[in-house]
Amino acid sequence: MALLEVDDVVAGYGAGPDILNGVTVTIEEGSSYCIVGPNGAGKSTLLRAIAGFLKPRAGEVRLDGVSMNGSRPDQMLAAGVCFVPQDASLFPGMSVKENLVMGGYLIEDRSLLQERLENVYEAFPVLAERKSQHAGTLSGGEQQMVTLGRALMIEPRMVMIDEPSLGLAPMIADQIFEKITGFKDLGITVVLVEQNAVKGLETVDWGFVLDLGSLEFDGPADGILADPRIRDLYLGKAMTPREGA
């Protein structure tokens, strides 16, 4: 059975228009995915709808075949679906360590929390070095490392990461993508939204092409990268490799 099914979901913000016009995607456990598409296609909205930040107006999000409609973000997280939004979502007044511990907010067992913290320091040595520094004083790349490390604290079944390379220098972005590949190696299902479609698709197994709030195409990531039609129709300039990339 699929880990997560998004079935004909319609969603939008407040009293605004529909951003998602009936999206259907299937996420298999242990695979990795990248959602690409032009600005305003509804990529971030799809992640927010899955994470429980946005209630679907129609359709259904199912986890292990069970409808999750109406679940709050904390309930989705408890069910194993972790969301990393694109705006640096740290606690600026807390240290790196406190931020990571907050990532384990749902963990009641203190020794387990400590064990997870050690695991994160091992996977992200830079965070161990900076553990007592205030998160608000870190560079953009380091902040992104903290958000990824924090997501690892809960050892989710699935992590959804929105625009991990936004605003980062290519070299730093490469380090971030390396960490994301690390999630996959731990058996965590990864769903990326990435403006740099080439980089994003190179990192994952499977691609979704979203446009105007519905799924236009999906297939193996290398297939999408090789298909000139999709490049011209949906990805435009985003497909042109950046200098040095």
Residues at the site binding another protein, with contacts judged by CB under 8 A? 13-15, 53, 72-74, 77-78, 83-85, 87-94, 102-103, 105-106, 135-136, 143, 150, 154
Between 17 and 244, CB nearer to another protein: 17
Q: What is the CA angle 243-231-23, rounded to 5? A: 120
User: 150, 152, 148, 161: which is closest to 98 by C-alpha?
Assistant: 150
| Sheet arrangement for strand 58-63 | 20-27, 4-11, 58-63, 66-67
Between 99 and 215, CB nearer to another protein: 99
Q: Which amino acid makes up residue 46?
A: L
Cα–Cα distance for residue pair 99/89, rounded to 1 Å? 10
Between 41 and 84, CB nearer to another protein: 84
Q: Are 180 and 192 in contact (CB under 8 A)?
A: yes
Minimum distance from CB of 159 to another protein (Å)?
Answer: 11
| Sheet arrangement for strand 214-220 | 81-84, 158-162, 189-193, 32-36, 206-211, 214-220
Between 93 and 220, CB nearer to another protein: 93
Between 94 and 126, CB nearer to another protein: 94
Give the residues across from 9 on adjacent strands: 23
Between 43 and 199, CB nearer to another protein: 43
Minimum distance from CB of 174 to another protein (Å)?
Answer: 24
Between 135 and 230, CB nearer to another protein: 135
Minimum distance from CB of 153 to another protein (Å)?
Answer: 8
Minimum distance from CB of 238 to another protein (Å)?
Answer: 26
**Which parts of 80-136 fold into alpha helices (H)?**
96-103, 110-123, 125-129
Minimum distance from CB of 117 to another protein (Å)?
Answer: 14
Cα–Cα distance for residue pair 147/143, rounded to 1 Å? 6
Minimum distance from CB of 151 to another protein (Å)?
Answer: 9
Cα torsion through 116, 69, 87, 169, rounded to 10: 70
Minimum distance from CB of 76 to another protein (Å)?
Answer: 9
